[in-house]
Amino acid sequence: MPGYEVKHTEVAITGTEGLHIRSLLDRQQFADPQGEAEAIGISSAMWPLFGLLWPSSQQLASYMMARPVIDSERILEVGCGLALASMVCHRRGDDVTASDCHPLTGAFLLENLALNDMAPMAYRHGDWGADEDIAPTHHYPMVAGRFDLIMGSDVLYERDDIGHLPRFIERHAQEVSEVLIVDPNRGNRSAFNRRMAQMGYALEEIALQQPLADGAAYRGRMLRYRRQSSAALS
């Protein structure tokens, strides 16, 4: 037994067929027998969050389904969790890489791809809390290179006074690039907005008030950052 319980859910995505998703049963699940999560600062309270279905991830998946496919565009999802948006992009033919820092994310993604009769896709270890891209203790390669679009859902869930996430984005975004963040109005976006502006990104906020594809109510916003010309890259 893996030490945690799971469930299977049909997740509705606007504009396409739903996804059959294996997720953790609830927020009470925890299993870190080798201490891999603890070693990178994931507490027992934070441990199950990667494996839960979040409304903002459904919003991002639906948004990406409606977004045109762009030839040669490279897409990176940060803090992907169950990677709904990455799976939608992969299914429609985008060049997409999912990333997260949780030791089990890659295994859950591989199984969920199989459950939906989808081929394996790129997955990388991406820990924006680290000052640099440090090799993990498990077997997934690190995020490397630069991307045209970086996306994430509900990743502004805690204060980031040091600016770890913006610095991670700066390391991996093309000079001309777009960043999409679905934020359920958590209140931590002001500092993030300032840092993105300092990096040369213009912000467009789009209110998200339509119900999810399954009819559940949702209130939040799409934060769309675009950088059109030169800005200092690290």
pTM of the model: 0.94
Domain contains 49: yes
CATH number at residue 88: 3.40.50.150
Name the residue range of residue 14's domain. 6-227
Q: Is 153 left (phi over 0), alpha (psi -120 to 50) or beta?
A: beta
Counting Cα atoms < 13 Å in the Cβ hemisphere of 19 gives: 29
Domain contains 222: yes
Domain contains 129: yes
Residues 6 or more apart whose CB falls under 8 angstroms from that of 196 comprise 166, 169, 179, 203, 225
Per-residue model confidence as pLDDT tens digits over 21-49:
999 999 999 999 989 999 888 999 999 99
Domain contains 1: no
Q: How confident is the model at residue 128 (pLDDT cuts 50, 70, 90)?
A: confident
Domain contains 234: no
Domain contains 232: no
Task: Return the HEC string of 7-34.
Answer: EEEEEEECCEEEEEEEEECCCCCCCCCC
Backbone phi, psi, residue 161, to 5°? -60, -30
Domain contains 173: yes
Per-residue model confidence as pLDDT tens digits over 53-112:
999 999 999 999 999 999 999 999 999 999 999 999 999 999 999 999 999 999 999 999
At 234 the pLDDT is 45
Domain contains 187: yes
Counting Cα atoms < 13 Å in the Cβ hemisphere of 5 gives: 5
Reported residue count of the chain is: 234
Q: How far apart are CA 48 and CA 212, in angstroms?
A: 23
* Number of independent structural domains in the chain: 1
Q: How far apart are CA 52 and CA 21, in angstroms?
A: 10
At 233 the pLDDT is 47
Per-residue model confidence as pLDDT tens digits over 136-186:
555 789 999 999 999 999 999 888 878 899 999 999 999 999 999 999 999
* Tokens of residue 198, six digits: 């300092």
